[in-house]
A and B are shown apart, each in its own frame.
Chain A
Amino acid sequence: MKNAFGLPQRVVVLAGSSDIARAITKRLCAARAHTVVLAGRNQQLLEEASTEALAFGASHVETVIFDARDPSNAERTVTTSFEKGGGAVDLVVVAVGMLGDQERFQDDPALAAEMATVNFTWPVAALARVRSLLVAQGSGRILVISSVAGVRVRRAKYLYGGAKAGLDRLCVGLADSLEGTGVSMHIMRPGHVRSRMTIGEKEPPFATGVEDVADDVMRGLADRSPIIWSPPILRYVFSVLRHLPAPLWRTVTDSMGR
């Protein structure tokens, strides 16, 4: 069970080998998590993440393999992960996503669709299953890794940002639908995070590291914040940015890099 500080004991992480997910998992294990199910695409990376979780205090780690390009496996992936958890799951982290190569993908219908599938459709299918399992449990939390890229979508990243925008907006409604079920939702909106996913990208202002993101998550869990911004200042930055006139918005965001 979770405790008074929102610290879970049994955790399922979808895309458990991503850098952000790993940083969060380490924190959770150092606190109270004893059972962790890591689902992901790459067995070797999952093994590394498992070893790390054990080193940080978990006593039981399981892995599940899935590919987010195929939403038809989402239900099975979630069901198997819950079964392997072996009891009421306190927290499900949805960290699935790919940044993609906008310039190469934007004129290719198949690749553009894949961006939507991985960043939106698969997570939505998975959330449908997570929702019903947690509601039946009568407890639990969902942490969805969204992105500030979805708060206002910019041209240099519109495939990624657009899919995240869809996911983020959907989760706001999903969160409301959970009122009174004992289940709750945290939407995490990180800015630019230094990680494998962003290697080689030009760094915009307010860039952050995965460890800082994990800190902000822990604080958000304890505070029961429905929206977790990382770094927190982005909440205010974006309350201005989202209202900039389009030409100005383009100039500002273009200067942040491709």
Chain B
Amino acid sequence: MSRVTLRGWGRTTPGVATVRHASNESEITATLESSRALIARGLGRSYGDAAQVSGGTVLVSDISDVGPVDDEGVLDIGAGASLDQLLTQCIPQGWFLPVTPGTRQVTIGGAIAADVHGKNHHLDGSFARHVLEMRIVTPSGPATISPDLDGELFWATMGGMGLTGVVSSVTLKLLKIETDKVLVDTQRFSNLDEVMSEMTSGDENFRYSVAWVDCMTRGANMGRAVLTRGDHARANDVSPASLRAPAPARLTVPFDAPSGLLNRFTVQAFNEAWFRSSPRRQLAKPESISSFFHPLDGIRNWNRLYGRRGFVQYQFCVPEESSDTVRHAIEHLSSSGVASFLAVLKRFGPANPGPLSFPLPGWTLALDLPVGPASLPQLLDDLDEMIVSAGGRIYLAKDARLSPEKMRAMYPKLDAFLEVKNRVDPEHQLTSDLARRLDLVGA
């Protein structure tokens, strides 16, 4: 037990809390019973204040056994295990995560709490679709839940940011793969409309699809982009048809860079260089799983490049019929002149019943913005307005700045969520700095 300063990946909102570890369900229960304010924490890859509770208790689950995979691809795994652990063990046996976020350094518990999505959401949905059941410890006791067993609690937990309880173990269904390679098509587009229309018409032919968009260039080339799409290589597509575990990070950023290092000029130069170095068109190029899914995992602590002030990630989604909002948001950003690295643009498929689950059918855009420009807070508030009127929302796993009013407007099923939370947590013990900021503690 120790008091520790905790932050999210964006390093913007420090808070001090007591950290406790639990290695089984009864230790989780005991910690819950002795804490007034508690939240679970995984690997701290959420960007804001979701996995911390100032002045309270932060629980880290050490339950991280990765069970054997059966013939159907079904696996029991501790919620404290990382996706990296899972992949290291399962890729050599020919199994892969059905949904993976842009980093392997995420726990199963964190993947559930954020109901994470990957490059295949348009076809395979979010993490929830592949969870058969899980064990959760709530202030009202431990329970096994699934879509059929207390489905209300199951769905409130998927995307519920840890506020319904501490997940201890999970039963997942994995995806069969024949090799550790992905065959990738790459295509360059000189503006946003072109890339969006190609994604609308062509994405369904690819399991994985994502576009990297330059949000700093204005005029005719606004939103120029590089689209990468692909699927797992079959055994006869590549030789050798290896199944190797991902390699650990080789580089590390040992200390904070100066806060001004990433400014509009350096970032613009980077974007330019990146765009020019991408192939105009390239088909079926074999790439390793790591470089395709987790390109940033090669450099440990890359978030330190943003310096002491840190950075925010702004990720929103809007429904299909509001696809114009993507263009308006990029216009607004590029004309404001704030620095933003390549943004990630994706299509989302159908939503699930989770009241706080983020994805809804349409588009999502995510961008990293260094804290610094005086105009940034207002700029993002303006974008919030646009997103609300488009019927879209902000991703809580990335958020560090939304207001409670906007949260409510973006998540119309918030009251249904709070009802379930109040049922399992009548004393409102489960809370986080994010929950306090956005009024999700319950009443």
Contacts and interface: CB of A to CB of B under 8 A. Distances in A.
Interface of A: 1-5, 7, 9, 31-32, 34, 87-88, 136-140, 180-183, 218-219, 222-224
Given A137-B55, A139-B54, A5 B377 contact: yes
A119 B377 CA distance: 34
Given A1-B49, A4-B401, A223-B372, A139 B437 contact: no
A138 B400 contact: no
Contact of B371 (A5, A31, A140, A181): A5
A136 B15 CA distance: 11
A64 B434 CA distance: 29
B309 A3 contact: no
B310 A4 contact: yes
**How big is the B interface, by class?**
20 to 34
A168 B372 CA distance: 26
B377 A1 contact: no
A3 B54 contact: no
Contact of A138 (B10, B54, B374, B401): B54
B56 to A, nearest CB: 7
Interface string B358-393: 000000000000011010110000000000000000
Interface of B: 3, 5, 10, 12-17, 48-49, 54-56, 308-310, 312, 371-372, 374, 376-377, 400-404, 433-434, 436-437
A181 B377 contact: no
Nearest to A183: B16
Contacts of A137: 54-55
Given A138-B16, A181-B16, A5 B54 contact: no
Closest 3 CB pairs of A and B: A182-B16, A139-B54, A138-B55
B181 to A, nearest CB: 38
Contacts of A31: 377
Contacts of B309: 223-224
A7 B12 CA distance: 11
B55 A88 contact: yes
Contacts of A181: 16
Consensus secondary structure, chain A interface: loop
A222 B55 contact: no
A1 B10 CA distance: 16
Contacts of B3: 138
Nearest to A139: B54
Contacts of B434: 1
B295 to A, nearest CB: 24
B7 to A, nearest CB: 10
Given A4-B371, A88-B54, A182-B5, A222 B377 contact: yes
Contact of B5 (A3, A136, A180): A180
A219 B48 CA distance: 20
Nearest to B373: A222
Contacts of A87: 436
Nearest to A30: B378
Nearest to B441: A87
B437 A3 contact: yes
B371 A219 contact: no
Given A1-B54, A222-B374, 14 more contacts: A1-B433, A1-B436, A1-B437, A3-B12, A4-B10, A137-B55, A139-B14, A139-B15, A139-B433, A180-B5, A182-B16, A182-B17, A222-B371, A223-B309
Given A223-B309, A224-B308, A5 B401 contact: yes
Contacts of B48: 4
27 contacts: A1-B49, A1-B54, A1-B433, A1-B436, A2-B13, A3-B401, A4-B13, A4-B400, A4-B401, A5-B12, A5-B371, A34-B404, A87-B436, A88-B436, A137-B54, A138-B15, A138-B55, A139-B15, A139-B16, A139-B55, A139-B433, A140-B54, A180-B16, A182-B5, A182-B55, A218-B374, A219-B374
